[in-house]
Structure formats: C-alpha cells, structure tokens
Chain A
C-alpha cells in the first residue's frame, strides 16, 4: 500500500468518476428530486457544474485540505453534491443522522472538529446553533432551504445558493487551486467519514478511502450487473454507509440515476412514481408494506379477497421456483401468468416494485414469510450482510441462490474466516482505514493482516458456502444452568408476527427467559377498529386484555417452535409483558438504525425485569420519555405480567 494503485485509468476518486460520467453520460439524468409536484432532473453534466461550483465556493470561504465538513439533512440532490464538492475541495464530508437531537450531534461535531456545517433546513440549522456554543470550532453553517430563517442574523450563516454563486464568480486563482486539490486526490485519500451508530458506547468515526468505496462499489455493481440505466430511490439516512454506497459509490461508478423523494411522508407515492430497478430497504419497511397490504385486503370485497388469497396461495407454491428458474409444471406456469395479470402485477405496481430487478434487505433478520411473500410475487429480493467498517458488503446472495435463513456468499474480493468462538472475520478492499482519533479501537477491531472482527457469531454452511449469522457475539451467552442463550434468535421469531413490532428477551445467567414486547400500532390498531375496541392511546391499547391474550398466543407459538431446536430450547419465554411505550431512538433505547440497545433497556426498566422474575402479577412504573424536539416528560403505567406456556420443561409455567 505504499504506492497508490490506479486500475481505473485516472478515475481513482469520486470527483474523478464525476468528470468521467459528465463526459460519458453528459445528457443522462444523474439526479431527480420531486419538488412542487414535479420530478426535476439534473444530468451528469449539470451535476458536474453544480458540484464544481459548490467546491469553488467552499474554497472561496476558506476550506482547508483535510477539513471535516458535517452534512445534515434529508436526502436531497444538493446535499449529495455538497458531499462530493467537499471532497473535490480537499475536505472530508461527514454526514450526520438528520433525526439526531442536538445533544447527540454535539459529540460528533466536537469529535470531528468541523469548521463548516452544511444543513438541509431550519430544523437542522437550529440544532447547530443550539450546540455551537458548546462545541466551538464551528465557523460557518451553510443551509439549503432558507424557509423560516429570514430573521436569523447573517453572522455565521450562509445559504448554499450564495456559496454556489460565489463559486460561479470565482477567479482564475481559485480555479487553479481547485484543480490542484482535485488532482491531488487518489485511491488513498479519504472519501468520507461515517459515524457508526453503536449499540454500545460512543459513536466511532469510520474513515473510508476512495479505494474502499470505489472497489466495493465496483465489485458489488458487477456482481448484480448494475448499469447506467438503473434507478434508485434515495430515502435512507444519508449518514448510513449503505446510502453512501448506493447513492454515491455505485451511482458514480455505474452512472445510474438517484431519485430523491419530495418528503419523508410522500416516500411511498414517490416510490411508485419512480419504480426503481434497484432497491434497498430494511426488513421493517418490507414488514410495514406487507402489513398495509394485508390490512387493506381485509377491507376489500369478498370476491377480491377470494381472488387475492387464491392467487397468493399459487404464488407461494410456485412463485419462488419460477423466479429462480427451477422447473415448474406448464399448467402452474399458465395459472401464474394469469395471476400476474390479475393480482401480482397490479400489486407490485401499487407497492412500486414493478421494475425492481435487484432488491436487497439487510440490517436485521427478515421473517421467512415476509421474504417469501415478496419473492413469490416475482420480486428478486435478496439478503446481504455488511457493516460500515466493510463499506457495506461482506456477503450477498447470488440470483437463484436466495434463502431466507442465510446471508449469502462472500462478495467478490471478500475473504471470510470464523474464529474459534464462532465470531465472523472478514478481509476485503472495502475494509476501513481506521477509526478517527481512536487507535485503540482500530487495533481491537482490525488486526495487522487486515482481518476485521464483525462482532457477530455465525458459521459457514457446509456444501453451499453460505454464511449464517446466529446473533451478536457478545449477546450470545449462557443461562444459569449452562444452556445456550441467543436472545436475537427468539426475538426475531417473535417479531415475525405482524402484531409484534419489537421484542427484547432477557435470560443471561438466569434460570429462565422473560420478554418485553412492543405491539405494532398499525396492525393491532386495525384489529381493534375492526373489533370495535375503543382506545385512546398506545398505552391503553397495549394494556388491553384481549391484546395481551393475542400476544400470549404468539409467545406460546414461538415457544413451541424454539423447543424444536435442542440447542436453544432453554430460550423459551416463560413470562412476558407488553411495554407501555414504544422503544424509541429519541430515548436512546434504539440506535438511529433502529437496533435495540439491550443493556440500556435492561437497566432502564430494571423494575419491570425484576417483576417478571419475582412472580408479581402487576408492576407500577414511571418512565421518562423524550419528545422529538428534545423536551422531556414522563408516563406512568401499571403493567400486567403474563405467564406463557412452555414446552417440555421442568415445570409448566402457565397456571
């Protein structure tokens, strides 16, 4: 790694790929955004002009080489351009989660020492202004949408439009300086710094080089035959590594078009209008969509309902085989084609999946029923396994080798090995450079030979070579009597029920397992409506005896299924409660990528855990909650603890 390798004929940085695309695909759309009800589009030539203009403007404002520039806001073309322009001007873009409260931003802004912050709108500017005194160092906040900021003082605030205008008017010297800085970028220069959400401890700044991003984008794009004509919808947080790879890495490598929704609320409509060919969503999005379809089918007429269920039964039987090109009888093929006209086609259209050629889900386990539902419709949904530290891709499923229980085979260029304790290690061109200002963690995670610990326990399946992930390595533990405790395994089974949004299972070093359950307000609320059950709040619905009854039957079903697995039969849930509030990232109970912070939840609700173990019937509790704007309040509740039947255990817990 002493000398910069350059296999791409000069395109060894993101700005270099931009220049290439502006020549190669000059008139082809690079970005679209729906605004004022119309899809506005920018070609690669436009994008080059905008990005260069911003970069010149940033130089004019005095950006130094190596400066970190924070970027906060929802997915908008101008913010993607801003990120690339920062790199062009020699800086390092640091995208932040836009829904982070001011307090969370403080740490990251302080840690990266940003002088410039680029904010999407007033909401983000307000947060920056709020933390500015504490953080120091922040000199200028650049904003995109001026709405509501007319009365803000001009000191330290500049609109991106002004920066762009200054860039357009830049003199020869500034242009020469930009050319010098841009020319100095190579495979080893830092492309982006992304903060990991971290289920434990403070976020860490993952430094990714151009090599990491471009090599990974190239390998994964070739794996799935992505091409310039593809369309993606950019709606996942810009601070998440996946969005950076999809909307910048792969987009710049292949030259496909990135579409930004009008607002978070219109995402579903925009998805349908764009009809992406390449689509990524976490399991939760697929779950929600399926729940919506099912709820709406409940309200449909009898004939439509009958047709839907008839067609879906056929799809379930033969759909995945047809998708994977396995032999299927001629009659079934004919029936499936009829179903495509009557049900599958219109349904895919409604969901916005008509054109999806490659679809991915990752981040959490997806329920097999949910996964099969989409595949049976003929949507090529696959799973991948990745991390920020790997520039996303570690393993991916090949077309025709898709299964719900594995995460696929290594992405081209990735090597895998399993340590003795079961932890998965990988090595690839995408492996991050280092954690920013944290050599200790870097050394802990990445060894001298470049192997990185994933923190996940798993194994490589004999024969197929597919990787299977069991649980977070540190979460897998032992129960008091030495039996294996894998909470995620049970939680995932619970979460596969549409009524259950989230579950947290406890049981490490205990004699039996207990669980917290969050109900899914959409599914349970709809059920309540259809059964004339009135409720005023989430809390009231969560405590309704009939809801508890239903959840109990789900828990018992899961117990029966867990009992099948000899190794994990100890993980059956003996007692459970339905929480009075949804676990929330604003309260720190979930990460911003919506993963449960297990330890924190256990500490915060210690009284409830105790209640589940000491056999009390009800426990009164008071919980502090944080609202979206950062204000705090508290809610009181009296929670009912329920016993659930377990299979072939020493004692039957029910009654």
Chain B
C-alpha cells in the first residue's frame, strides 16, 4: 500500500516510524453538502504532516475527523493498527490525541498555569471526594502534574506569565499557551489548526521553532493545517493538498510545490 519503507531517517536525523493513523476513503457530508469526498492518506509516527488547501477546502473538517469529533459517513479511520469506532467526547482525549484551535479556546479568566493544568485532566485519576478534601492521592497527583506543567512552561519559555490571566495576554502568547495545554496531555498525536494565523513574522518564527522542538524533543507526531506556504514547506515532512473536499496532492513539500494541480488550485483555475 505505502511505497515507503517501514521506517526511515530524515536528512536532519529524525526517525520516522510506521503508519500511526490511516484515513481510508473518507467522505463527510453535512446534509446535502459534501465537505470531504473520498480522501485517503496516512500519518506516520514521528512526522510533521501538513494539510493545506484554499479556504473551504475541508481542512478543518478533516482535522475534526482525525480527532474523532466528526464521524464520516463513509470510510474508515485506522489508529494504532486498529479500526477506530465512533468516539464519545471524553474518549477523544483518552486516545492520545490533543489539539489547538483556529480561534483560541482558552479560559480567559484563568491563569496560564491553570489553563495548562486543565490539559492534565485525563491524567488525574483521584476521585471527586479526595480532590475536594485535598487528601492523599489528590495532593500527590497535583504535585506530579504540576511538575509536568512546569516543564512545559519552561519549554515554551513562558515563565514570566505563569500567573497572568490569559485574557490579558497578546494573541501570539495565547497561541503558545494553547500549545502548552495540548502538550500537557502528553499526546502521541498533536493536531494544530492554523497555529500561525494572525501572527507577525517574529511570532511565526518562534512558533515554528516550538513546533520543531516539540517534534524533536518529545517525539510527538504532528498534523497541522496552515495557510502560510513558506512555513508549511519549511516545517513539514509530507503535505496533503485539498481543494473542494478532494485530495489533489500528497507528498514531500518540494514535490507538492511543483505539482500542476496544486498550482492551479492556489492560483485559481475555473472549476467545472
């Protein structure tokens, strides 16, 4: 099926493993509207996989299918070597997938630290009673989780805003906090929905650095949607190109860049 070997090493020294997630002939409809039509692709362990395409191409819908939020009408989602059944919302986080949102979805009134702590929710096992009384397991768990969160704060270099309410932060930092919250779940697969949207060049450079570092230091597999082509080409190992719900390209950035179908989609050729 896949022409590539079971695992290989990239020129910059990262090891890309076997297939982690596979989308087979996915079709998603909203009523009569076909958002995604018969798309197949895979995500390999340890890689940075980009999904690009013009507005309305169905990228965000695709991300929602990967996360398990949408269930496609047709097709199969394979994750960690097994076909995934439709998930309940609380099961989504439990499977090891975390995400950030295109429009930041943080708790504005809570501090940066608390926001990132919420990402640890799935790792807290103590019961309601013990948590309310701050007794035994709950206290120990909180310490362990705080340690993980502090490492992330250090990693993202946001020590100085640890106690600042998120609502007071500029946009670029909010994005970073959101990434922190996603990382706090210690995901195997991290989904980033337009992580650079609305950022200036410097913020984009910082964010790119963090994405590469997450992939490198934590070994997290990353799937991201992005509009900035320069960023996509620099960051990703492989790119899926979508247009009007269809897949029109799939491969390494340099290959996709020269593909006629992709150029047409971006420069605008009439769709019949």
List A contacts of B146 (CB < 8 A): 37
A148 CA to B146 CA, complexed, in Å: 23
- Does any Cβ of A come within 8 Å of B160's Cβ? yes
Determine if B216 and A35 form an interchain contact, defined as CB atoms under 8 angstroms apart: no
Beta-carbon contact of B213 and A265 below 8 Å: no
Given contacts A263-B160, A266-B159, whether A37 and B13 have CB atoms under 8 Å apart is no
| In the bound complex, CA of A610 to CA of B188 (Å) | 64
Residue of A nearest to B14 (CB): A151
Closest B residue, CB atoms, query A34: B159
Q: Is B254 an interface residue, CB under 8 A from the partner?
A: no
Instruction: Please provide the chain A residues from 141 to 162 with a CB less than 8 Å away from any CB of chain B in the complex.
Output: 147-148, 150-151
A266 to B160 alpha-carbon distance, docked (Å): 5
* Contact (Cβ within 8 A) B159 A263: yes
Is A263 a contact of B157 with CB atoms below 8 Å?
Answer: yes
On chain B, the residues within 8 Å of A269 by CB distance are 160, 163
Check: B150 CB closer than 8 A to any chain A CB. Answer: yes
Interface string of B142-163 (1 = CB under 8 A from A): 0000110011011101011011
Interface residues contributed by chain A, number (CB under 8 Å): 13
Among A450-498, those with CB < 8 Å from B are: none
The answer for the CA separation of A266 and B147 in the assembled complex, in Å, is 19
Is B216 in contact with A36, judged by CB distance below 8 angstroms? Answer: no
Q: Are A151 and B150 within 8 A (Cβ)?
A: no
Contact indicator A265/B12 (Cβ below 8 Å): no
Chain A interface, >50% SS class: loop
Min CB–CB distance A1 → chain B (angstroms):
48
> Which residues from A are CB-within-8-Å of B162?
37
> Chain A: which residue is nearest B163 at the CB level?
A269
Nearest to B160 among chain A residues (CB) is A265
A262 at the interface (CB under 8 A from B): yes
Within 8 Å CB of B12, what residues of A? 151
A37–B213 touching, CB < 8 Å:
no
Would A36 and B13 be within 8 Å (CB), given that A150-B216, A266-B159, A266-B160 are in contact?
no
Determine if B217 is an interface residue (Cβ-Cβ < 8 Å).
yes
What chain B residues lie within 8 Å of A147 (beta carbons)?
Answer: 155, 213, 217
Distance in angstroms between the alpha carbons of A266 and B153 in the assembled complex: 13
User: How distant is the Cα of A151 from the Cα of B215 in the complex, in angstroms?
Assistant: 13
Alpha-carbon distance between A262 and B147 when the two chains are bound, in angstroms: 15
Which chain B residues border A148 with CB–CB below 8 Å? 213
B191-233 CB mask vs A (1 if < 8 Å, else 0) is 0000000000000000000000100110000000000000000
Interchain Cβ contacts under 8 Å between A and B, 26 examples:
A35-B154, A36-B150, A36-B151, A36-B153, A36-B154, A37-B113, A37-B153, A37-B159, A37-B162, A38-B150, A147-B155, A147-B213, A148-B213, A150-B216, A151-B12, A151-B13, A151-B216, A262-B159, A263-B157, A263-B159, A263-B160, A265-B159, A266-B159, A266-B160, A269-B160, A269-B163
The 7 closest A-B pairs by CB, nearest first: A265-B160, A36-B150, A37-B150, A266-B160, A262-B159, A266-B159, A151-B13
Q: Contacts A266-B159, A269-B163 given; 14 further ones with Cβ under 8 A?
A: A35-B154, A36-B150, A37-B113, A37-B146, A37-B150, A147-B155, A147-B213, A147-B217, A148-B213, A151-B13, A151-B216, A262-B159, A265-B159, A265-B160
